Amino acid sequence: MPTDIEESVTPSESTEPTEITIGEVTSNEPVSGDSILNTIKKLLGIDASYHPFDTDIIIHINTYLGVLNDLGVGVLGFTITGPNETWSEFLSGSAAPVNEARTYVYLRVRMAFDPPTSGIVTNAIEKQIEELGWRLRIKVECSV
Protein backbone atom coordinates (compact mmCIF):
# COMPACT_ATOMS: atom_id res chain seq x y z
CA MET A 1 0.00 0.00 0.00
CA PRO A 2 1.61 3.33 -1.02
CA THR A 3 2.15 5.90 1.69
CA ASP A 4 3.20 9.54 1.67
CA ILE A 5 5.58 8.97 4.58
CA GLU A 6 9.18 8.11 3.73
CA GLU A 7 11.57 7.32 6.53
CA SER A 8 15.33 6.90 6.63
CA VAL A 9 16.20 5.05 9.84
CA THR A 10 19.54 4.80 11.62
CA PRO A 11 20.38 2.29 14.35
CA SER A 12 18.40 2.92 17.56
CA GLU A 13 21.57 3.32 19.62
CA SER A 14 22.60 6.36 17.58
CA THR A 15 21.98 9.81 19.03
CA GLU A 16 22.25 11.35 15.57
CA PRO A 17 19.02 12.84 14.23
CA THR A 18 17.18 10.84 11.61
CA GLU A 19 15.73 12.62 8.63
CA ILE A 20 12.01 11.99 8.29
CA THR A 21 10.04 13.20 5.30
CA ILE A 22 6.28 13.57 5.62
CA GLY A 23 4.78 14.84 2.40
CA GLU A 24 6.91 17.87 1.60
CA VAL A 25 8.09 18.54 5.17
CA THR A 26 11.47 17.25 6.38
CA SER A 27 12.44 17.12 10.04
CA ASN A 28 15.85 16.38 11.57
CA GLU A 29 14.49 15.81 15.08
CA PRO A 30 15.55 12.65 16.89
CA VAL A 31 13.22 9.77 15.96
CA SER A 32 12.07 9.34 19.54
CA GLY A 33 11.03 12.99 19.87
CA ASP A 34 13.23 13.00 22.96
CA SER A 35 14.97 16.36 22.33
CA ILE A 36 14.45 18.61 25.33
CA LEU A 37 14.58 21.84 23.30
CA ASN A 38 12.31 20.60 20.51
CA THR A 39 9.79 19.16 22.99
CA ILE A 40 9.50 22.46 24.84
CA LYS A 41 9.34 24.45 21.58
CA LYS A 42 6.53 22.20 20.33
CA LEU A 43 4.58 22.66 23.56
CA LEU A 44 5.08 26.43 23.27
CA GLY A 45 3.69 26.29 19.72
CA ILE A 46 7.04 27.06 18.07
CA ASP A 47 8.23 25.00 15.11
CA ALA A 48 11.51 23.15 15.69
CA SER A 49 12.97 24.80 12.57
CA TYR A 50 12.26 28.34 13.86
CA HIS A 51 15.36 29.48 15.78
CA PRO A 52 15.13 33.21 16.73
CA PHE A 53 14.03 32.42 20.30
CA ASP A 54 16.22 29.35 20.91
CA THR A 55 18.71 31.19 23.15
CA ASP A 56 15.93 32.57 25.37
CA ILE A 57 14.19 29.21 25.60
CA ILE A 58 17.47 27.36 26.30
CA ILE A 59 18.27 29.75 29.16
CA HIS A 60 14.85 29.14 30.72
CA ILE A 61 15.07 25.37 30.18
CA ASN A 62 18.46 25.23 31.89
CA THR A 63 17.12 27.24 34.82
CA TYR A 64 14.26 24.80 35.36
CA LEU A 65 16.38 21.71 34.82
CA GLY A 66 18.39 23.13 37.74
CA VAL A 67 15.19 23.48 39.78
CA LEU A 68 14.39 19.84 38.99
CA ASN A 69 17.90 18.99 40.25
CA ASP A 70 17.01 20.77 43.51
CA LEU A 71 13.95 18.51 43.74
CA GLY A 72 16.21 15.47 43.30
CA VAL A 73 15.30 14.88 39.65
CA GLY A 74 17.76 14.32 36.81
CA VAL A 75 21.50 14.36 36.29
CA LEU A 76 23.08 16.98 38.56
CA GLY A 77 24.38 19.99 36.62
CA PHE A 78 22.86 18.87 33.30
CA THR A 79 22.35 21.68 30.78
CA ILE A 80 21.36 21.90 27.15
CA THR A 81 23.01 23.88 24.36
CA GLY A 82 20.68 22.97 21.50
CA PRO A 83 18.36 20.26 20.17
CA ASN A 84 20.74 17.32 20.72
CA GLU A 85 20.32 16.87 24.48
CA THR A 86 17.51 14.49 25.38
CA TRP A 87 15.12 13.76 28.22
CA SER A 88 16.62 10.26 28.42
CA GLU A 89 20.06 11.74 29.10
CA PHE A 90 18.71 14.18 31.71
CA LEU A 91 16.61 11.58 33.52
CA SER A 92 19.24 8.82 33.31
CA GLY A 93 19.08 6.87 36.57
CA SER A 94 16.29 9.06 37.96
CA ALA A 95 13.07 7.65 39.40
CA ALA A 96 11.13 10.64 38.11
CA PRO A 97 8.62 9.97 35.32
CA VAL A 98 9.56 11.65 32.05
CA ASN A 99 6.10 13.08 31.33
CA GLU A 100 5.87 14.87 34.66
CA ALA A 101 9.39 16.28 34.22
CA ARG A 102 8.55 17.49 30.68
CA THR A 103 5.31 19.10 31.80
CA TYR A 104 7.01 20.76 34.78
CA VAL A 105 9.76 22.29 32.61
CA TYR A 106 7.25 23.33 29.94
CA LEU A 107 4.95 25.09 32.40
CA ARG A 108 7.86 26.88 34.09
CA VAL A 109 9.32 27.96 30.73
CA ARG A 110 5.91 29.10 29.53
CA MET A 111 5.45 31.29 32.59
CA ALA A 112 8.88 32.86 32.04
CA PHE A 113 8.86 33.05 28.23
CA ASP A 114 5.20 33.60 27.31
CA PRO A 115 3.05 34.16 30.40
CA PRO A 116 -0.73 34.17 30.01
CA THR A 117 -2.51 37.51 30.14
CA SER A 118 -5.34 36.16 32.29
CA GLY A 119 -4.82 36.04 36.04
CA ILE A 120 -7.08 33.00 36.27
CA VAL A 121 -4.94 31.06 33.78
CA THR A 122 -1.77 32.19 35.56
CA ASN A 123 -3.13 30.91 38.90
CA ALA A 124 -4.14 27.59 37.34
CA ILE A 125 -0.66 27.09 35.83
CA GLU A 126 1.03 28.05 39.09
CA LYS A 127 -1.06 25.45 40.93
CA GLN A 128 -0.11 22.82 38.33
CA ILE A 129 3.57 23.70 38.75
CA GLU A 130 3.28 23.43 42.53
CA GLU A 131 1.51 20.07 42.36
CA LEU A 132 3.93 18.62 39.79
CA GLY A 133 6.91 19.75 41.87
CA TRP A 134 5.42 18.09 44.94
CA ARG A 135 4.64 14.86 43.05
CA LEU A 136 8.12 14.71 41.51
CA ARG A 137 9.75 15.26 44.91
CA ILE A 138 7.59 12.53 46.53
CA LYS A 139 8.33 10.02 43.73
CA VAL A 140 12.07 10.64 44.06
CA GLU A 141 11.98 10.41 47.88
CA CYS A 142 9.93 7.18 47.82
CA SER A 143 12.35 5.53 45.38
CA VAL A 144 15.41 6.11 47.58
List pLDDT tens digits, range 24-41. 334 444 434 699 999 999
Provide the pLDDT for residue 144. 65
**Predicted structure pTM score:** 0.76
Provide the pLDDT for residue 95. 78
Over the chain, what is the mean pLDDT?
A: 83
Distance CA 24, CA 12 (A): 25
- 9-19 pLDDT tens trace: 444 444 444 44
Q: Is 79 exposed, middle or buried (0-12, 13-18, 19+ CB in 10 A)?
A: middle
pLDDT at 7 over 80: no
Q: What is the CA radius of gyration of the chain?
A: 17
Domain map (residue ranges) of the chain: 1-31, 33-143
